[in-house]
Amino acid sequence: MNVLRHNLLRQAVRVSSPRIVTPVRTFSRTHIRHEAPSEPHFSEPKPIPESPSFYTTRAVYYDQLSQLEKTISSADYFLRKNHLLPLPDFARASLPELHPMWKDPSEMASEFKTKMTMTRYRRVTHCLNQINDFQRIAQVGGCPELAQKLQDILSMYESSKKEAYLNKGKRRIATLDEYGRSYTLGKRKTSSARVWMIPVKTTTTDPSPESLLGVEGKQRFPVTPSTILVNNLSLHEFFRFPQDREKITRPLKVAGVLGKYNVFAIVRGGGTTGQSGALAHGIAKGIVAHEPALETMFRRAKLTRRDPRMVERKKTGLAKARKRYTWVKR
């Protein structure tokens, strides 16, 4: 029985683990060749990337942002070294105001070659505002080279619509022609007035022909030193109501130039109230053209503003509309 068990165990081992026979290759002397050892093969090294942010998907954005941050740090070090920083509050308040207007996110996207989200756009504009602050400090502090370098950097990110935006709220002061005449346009409600103003020329007191001949007439016709003609009619003929005439002559009285200018106007549209307001608006702008020193006084008196009451009504109406919208939104 023991012999049988031993044989069965040997057969089981043979079945479970078969022998693996590897063929042996024999070489004859004719097949043996003596070859020289080959040189080691090295792969070419990869070029060093130009951008340190090559591993990101927005390499241009991070490169330019790092350049802006380096500019801020170097400008801050230079200003502190020249004792221009830190500035007290009163000195910072006396600095000239600079009105930066940067490119919008769509224009920045083409500049940075990536989509500019609000987070990225705010990060860039924060750096630009800080550089702008350093630029005006360097300009006032007597560092023109640093100010010029910072200005060159800021000009790359300024919007092309900056000049139009800054001149949007400014009033264009009318200019005088070669004869000293001013042409202005006044508006009120739906009325408009085109106004020409000419200074009254002072004539020398020359003897009249009647006095030279010794025949002086007893009847003398009064000649007014200045004339206000509206649509080829005198002021009191065109405007029958005294309040309209007072409104028209108010800018002349406020400036103290009543009787100093000849006024010729053409009014169109609206009623007498709107036409008188438009004419007063045009006269006020013409006085400012002849005497620019009165611009501040006329602006405070709201004489050069069109429809001051309507502007206030629009503001209150917008405020009410916003309140109503927020209440509906809640």
Asked if 152 and 244 sit in the same domain, the reply is: no
Q: Does residue 32 sit within a domain?
A: no
- Of the candidates 128, 120, 122, the residue with the CA atom closest to the CA atom of residue 156: 128
Identify the pLDDT of residue 132: 93
Q: Does residue 244 sit within a domain?
A: yes
Q: Does residue 53 sit within a domain?
A: no
Q: Check if the beta carbon of residue 280 is closer than 8 Å to that of residue 248.
A: yes
pLDDT tens sequence across 216-237: 554 444 445 568 999 999 999 9
Residue 183 phi/psi, 5° resolution?
A: -125, 120
Asked if 162 and 267 sit in the same domain, the reply is: no
Q: Check if the beta carbon of residue 276 is closer than 8 Å to that of residue 231.
A: no
The mean of the pLDDT values for the chain is 79
Q: Does residue 214 sit within a domain?
A: no
Asked if 235 and 296 sit in the same domain, the reply is: yes
Q: What mean pLDDT is predicted for residues 46-65?
A: 84
Q: Does residue 90 sit within a domain?
A: yes
Q: What mean pLDDT is predicted for residues 244-260?
A: 92
Identify the pLDDT of residue 37: 57
Number of domains making up the chain:
2
Identify the pLDDT of residue 198: 93
- State the Cα–Cα distance between residues 281 and 193, nearest whole angstrom: 8
Identify the pLDDT of residue 105: 92
226 burial (CB, 10 Å; 0-12 / 13-18 / 19+) is middle
Confidence label for 288 from pLDDT (cuts 50, 70 and 90)? very high
**Single pTM value for the model:** 0.48
Asked if 277 and 194 sit in the same domain, the reply is: yes
Asked if 129 and 240 sit in the same domain, the reply is: no
DSSP string, 187-235: EETTEEEEEEEEEPPPPP-PPPHHHHHT---S------S--EEETTEEH
Chain centroid to CA 314: how far? 24
Asked if 197 and 84 sit in the same domain, the reply is: no
Q: Check if the beta carbon of residue 247 is closer than 8 Å to that of residue 264.
A: no
Identify any residues that bridge with 198 across adjacent strands, giving them in sequence order: 262
Q: Check if the beta carbon of residue 138 is closer than 8 Å to that of residue 146.
A: yes
- State the Cα–Cα distance between residues 261 and 248, nearest whole angstrom: 13
Percent of the chain with pLDDT over 70: 71
Q: What mean pLDDT is predicted for residues 5-34?
A: 52
User: What CATH number does the domain containing 287 carry?
Assistant: 3.30.230.10
Q: Does residue 286 sit within a domain?
A: yes
pLDDT at 205 over 80: no
pLDDT, greater one: 136 or 305: 136
Asked if 141 and 196 sit in the same domain, the reply is: no
Asked if 78 and 102 sit in the same domain, the reply is: yes
pLDDT tens sequence across 93-109: 888 877 788 999 999 99
Cβ neighbours for 295, distance < 8 A, ≥ 6 positions apart: 173, 288, 304
pLDDT at 2 over 80: no
Q: Does residue 117 sit within a domain?
A: yes
- State the Cα–Cα distance between residues 258 and 252, nearest whole angstrom: 5
Q: Does residue 172 sit within a domain?
A: no
Provide the residue range defining the domain that includes 261.
Answer: 182-202+224-307
Q: For the chain, what is the largest distance between any 2 Cα atoms, rounded to a whole number of angstroms? A: 180
Identify the pLDDT of residue 49: 77
Identify the pLDDT of residue 302: 87
Asked if 69 and 161 sit in the same domain, the reply is: yes
pLDDT at 30 over 70: no
User: How would you write 10-31 as a 3-class SS string?
Assistant: HHHHHHHCCCCCCCCCCCCCCC
The region of weakest confidence among 38-47, 78-87, 243-252, 275-284 is 38-47
- State the Cα–Cα distance between residues 264 and 232, nearest whole angstrom: 8
pLDDT tens sequence across 146-179: 999 999 999 999 988 877 776 665 667 778 888 8
CA dihedral (234, 240, 241, 244) positive or negative: negative
Using alpha carbons only, what angle is made at residue 262 by residues 259 and 263, rounded to the nearest 5 degrees? 115
Asked if 194 and 141 sit in the same domain, the reply is: no
Asked if 195 and 112 sit in the same domain, the reply is: no
Asked if 83 and 161 sit in the same domain, the reply is: yes
Q: Scan for tokens 């009014």, then name that residue.
A: 267
Identify the pLDDT of residue 95: 85
Q: Check if the beta carbon of residue 261 is closer than 8 Å to that of residue 200.
A: yes
AA identity, residue 246: E
pLDDT, greater one: 292 or 201: 292
Cβ neighbours for 197, distance < 8 A, ≥ 6 positions apart: 181, 182, 184, 261, 262, 263, 264, 283, 286, 287, 289, 290
Work out the number of other CB atoms within 10 angstroms of the CB of residue 326: 9
